[in-house]
Amino acid sequence: MAAVSTKSLVGKVALVTGGSRGIGAGIVRRLAAEGARVEFTYASSEEKALQIVREIESAGGTVSAFKADSASAEELCTAVTKTTETFGRLDIFVSNAGILTMGTIDAYSLENFDRMVAINVRAAFVGLQAAARCMNDGGRIVVIGSNTAIRTAFPGGSVYSMTKAALTGLVRGAAIDLAPRAITVNNVQPGPTATEMSSAHAGLVTPLIPLKRMGDVSEIASLVAYLASEDAGFITGASLTIDGGYVA
């Protein structure tokens, strides 16, 4: 599904965490297509990250990749600082990095719990805080959550759902804190989306979606691009679900 570009982000600088694959890669591509200069982090997929850089640069966009583990507050803060130093400003921050480790509550290990919280919740806080300190007034912060904050649906998803539900509260409070600077903070909650990792489960989840299909990465990226634009200046503190009616 092709995205329609309006070049609404020309002159803006964006940082996307976890941007080398899946939804994150789609967001990087869309923000660059809208004219933003984009920095994105990756934890391990260096070749995929470089491939995205080559692709966007060949289309005339400005992009760079930075290796950073979102579980490390130091590396995450360095990515924010590096982006600001490289491009001279920061207008858009997208906290996308996240992991999913399934397991029923009676068997879930504390090690997996701590890592899920570190990457899905702590990293969102660290990145949001660091970005807000560097960001120009009128900036845009978008957190990528999940519709599992509303509906867990399957056994083994309790901890993941908990981490995504935590983001709804973080976004509401941060939106109030940053409102005096006209910085908006919003949470996008995708439902089942066709990526390399999730497509194998399409047969299981598609019957549960009223629209009878999984979402496309470009559709999630389009919502993020809108929230990052000037047109979305009156939307803040919101958790916006995009899931084909899955939780309706």
Give CA–CA dist 28/246, Å, rounded.
Answer: 26
Assigned domain for 115 exists? yes
CB 14 within 8 A of CB 228: yes
Assigned domain for 128 exists? yes
| pTM, entire model | 0.94
Assigned domain for 141 exists? yes
pLDDT of res. 81: 96
Assigned domain for 248 exists? no
Report the CATH number at residue 142.
3.40.50.720
Assigned domain for 186 exists? yes
pLDDT of res. 5: 55
**Catalytically annotated residues:** 160
Residue 201 has pLDDT above 80, yes or no: no
Domain hosting 126: range is 13-242
Assigned domain for 1 exists? no
Q: How confident is the model at residue 4 (pLDDT cuts 50, 70, 90)?
A: low
How many domains, the chain? 1
Of the two residues 103 and 204, the one the predictor is more confident about is 103
- In this predicted model, what pLDDT tens digit does every residue of 59-107 receive, in sequence order? 999 999 999 999 999 999 999 999 999 999 999 999 999 999 999 999 9
SS3 of 220-241: the string is HHHHHHHHCCHHHCCCCCCEEE
pLDDT of res. 7: 87
Assigned domain for 7 exists? no
Of the two residues 125 and 3, the one the predictor is more confident about is 125
Q: How confident is the model at residue 204 (pLDDT cuts 50, 70, 90)?
A: confident
pLDDT of res. 15: 98
Closest CA to 228 of 37, 19, 1: 37
Q: How confident is the model at residue 1 (pLDDT cuts 50, 70, 90)?
A: very low
Taking residues 183-192, report their average pLDDT: 97
Assigned domain for 3 exists? no
